[in-house]
């Protein structure tokens, strides 16, 4: 009588070993890819960095912008600095550069160019923009313990950061700031007040502006100035 033949499947231990090997191979490949990406990011950094300081300085940023085909005053350069969380205006450290480019998945100039539109969309989302707006002020504090920014610089920054979103408000606000004589500098509380004003107040009728709602005095004065102009 012939024996019953039975085919044995792979043992649990063999299956587990094969699965573990596949995971290890995947991790190894992923790790190598990440390592290569970081290497290219570093190479790009050192192509712009100052050899003596080890930083990308204003001259390096100008060269970087030229390769990106973006003016150094373009708001997207400020967005890049925000993505890197750069601390000092006009300078990028290697760690900041790595942080920003890895987040953008960009290790070449070509990839950075392609990433800029998505970065612009990310920054302009309501959930993100306020953080960027606050960062823009902090980034312009160039001196140690500095807490305010001169009126001329604030006017430029307002137009750069808010001009495309709130053109009429920014135009009048800049006009007011340039003609008034009560304030020579703007602090963070006032800067945040400008953004809150643009997002909350009906313009140009100003019908819902309540001076008792803890607005900075400079905005009370601005509203008085606007109403006087409107007759």
Element of type H or E holding 38: helix 12-48
- Whole-structure pTM value: 0.84
The rounded percent of the chain whose pLDDT value lies above 70 is 86
Query: Average pLDDT for residues 141-162, to the nearest whole number?
Result: 96
The domain tally of the chain equals: 2
Query: Average pLDDT for residues 110-133, to the nearest whole number?
Result: 96
User: Same domain, yes or no, for 132 and 96?
Assistant: no
**How far apart, in whole angstroms, are the C-alpha atoms of residue 137 and residue 81?**
12
CATH number, domain with residue 151: 1.10.238.200
Mean pLDDT of the chain: 91
Place of tokens 């140690």: 144
Query: Average pLDDT for residues 12-34, to the nearest whole number?
Result: 59
123 CB-contact burial (10 Å; exposed 0-12 / middle 13-18 / buried 19+): buried
Of residues 16 and 70, the one with the higher pLDDT is: 70
pLDDT at 31: 62
User: Same domain, yes or no, for 118 and 134?
Assistant: no
Task: Report the range of poorest mean pLDDT among 32-46, 76-90, 176-190.
Answer: 32-46
List 186's β-bridge partners, or say none. 149
Is 173 contained in some domain? yes
Tell me the pLDDT tens digit for each residue of 179-191: 999 999 999 999 9
User: Same domain, yes or no, for 158 and 88?
Assistant: no
CATH number, domain with residue 55: 1.10.238.10
User: Same domain, yes or no, for 100 and 157?
Assistant: no
Is 70 contained in some domain? yes
**How far apart, in whole angstroms, are the C-alpha atoms of residue 222 and residue 194?**
10
Provide the pLDDT confidence category of residue 92 given band limits of 50, 70 and 90.
very high
Domain boundaries, position 197: 128-230
């Amino acid at each position: 009588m012939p024996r019953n033949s039975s085919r044995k499947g792979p043992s649990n231990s063999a299956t587990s070993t094969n699965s573990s090997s596949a995971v290890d191979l995947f991790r190894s490949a992923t790790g190598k890819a990440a390592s290569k990406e970081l290497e290219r990011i570093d190479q790009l950094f050192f192509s712009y960095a100052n050899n003596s300081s080890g930083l990308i300085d204003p001259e390096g940023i100008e060269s970087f912008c030229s390769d990106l085909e973006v003016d150094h005053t373009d708001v997207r350069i400020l967005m890049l600095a925000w993505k890197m969380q750069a601390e000092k205006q006009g300078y990028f450290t290697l760690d900041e550069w790595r942080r920003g480019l890895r987040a953008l998945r960009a290790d070449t100039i070509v990839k950075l160019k392609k990433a800029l539109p998505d970065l612009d969309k990310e920054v302009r989302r309501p959930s993100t923009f306020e953080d960027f707006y606050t960062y823009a002020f902090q980034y312009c504090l160039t001196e140690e313990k500095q807490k305010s920014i001169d009126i001329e610089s604030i006017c430029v920054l307002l137009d750069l950061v808010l001009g495309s979103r709130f053109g009429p408000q920014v135009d009048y606000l800049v006009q007011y700031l340039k003609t008034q004589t009560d304030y020579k500098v703007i602090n963070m509380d006032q800067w945040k007040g400008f953004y809150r004003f643009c997002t909350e107040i009906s313009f140009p009728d100003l019908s819902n502006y309540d001076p008792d709602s803890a607005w900075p005095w400079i905005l009370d004065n601005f509203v008085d100035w606007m109403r006087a102009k409107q007759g």
